[in-house]
Amino acid sequence: MGQRLTTLRVAAAVQLAEAVLVLMATVLAGIDAARGRSYHVNSGIALTVIGAASALALAWVAAGVARGRPWSRTPALLTQLFVGIVGIYLLQGSRLDWGAVTVALAVAGFAALLAPQSLRALARAPRSGGKPSGGKPPAGKAPAGKTAREKPGGGAGGQPGGVTRRS
């Protein structure tokens, strides 16, 4: 269990570091917008607002990863993908300082998130109502995919493909 927590903590730390980098870039964009050095004042303001919202979202995902929440796995993996792409662009644009840092963060984030311990910790629990281990439905339950209200001629209420949900 200690190793699982370690990989999740590393993944969360990487995600949080990426949030801090986005926040730093946002602050720089905001300063440029305030000084009138952005392409257009409105675009500088928009970039600042979008960057701040993105930094908050990345920090929220980092908190989810640290707590082992299954919903956080996909956004964290997508963050690593996009940070890696941005890092490659930065390296190609001769920004070796920022590019090397972002690529290293993306690689570390992928490694921590795809570690077997992290995959197990962030996996969704199987839904109740699935087949029991014996392969037979429990006594008194309809077979999977069928409901008590479904009519034999097609879906619920005679509608082809219709499914009736119980409340």
Over range 37-52, report the average pLDDT: 83
Chain-centre distance for alpha carbon 102: 18
pTM, to two decimals: 0.69
Q: How does the average pLDDT of the chain come out, rounded?
A: 82
Look up residue 8 and give its two tokens: 């999740």
Q: What percent of the chain has pLDDT over 90?
A: 50
Closest alpha carbon to 104 in 119, 83, 74: 83
pLDDT for residue 132: 53
Q: The dihedral of CA 117, 119, 124, 129: what is its sign?
A: negative
pLDDT at residue 163 tops 90: no
Over residues 113-153, the pLDDT tens digits come to 999 989 888 887 667 765 555 555 555 555 555 555 555 55
Lowest mean pLDDT among 28-32, 40-44, 89-93: 40-44
pLDDT for residue 135: 53
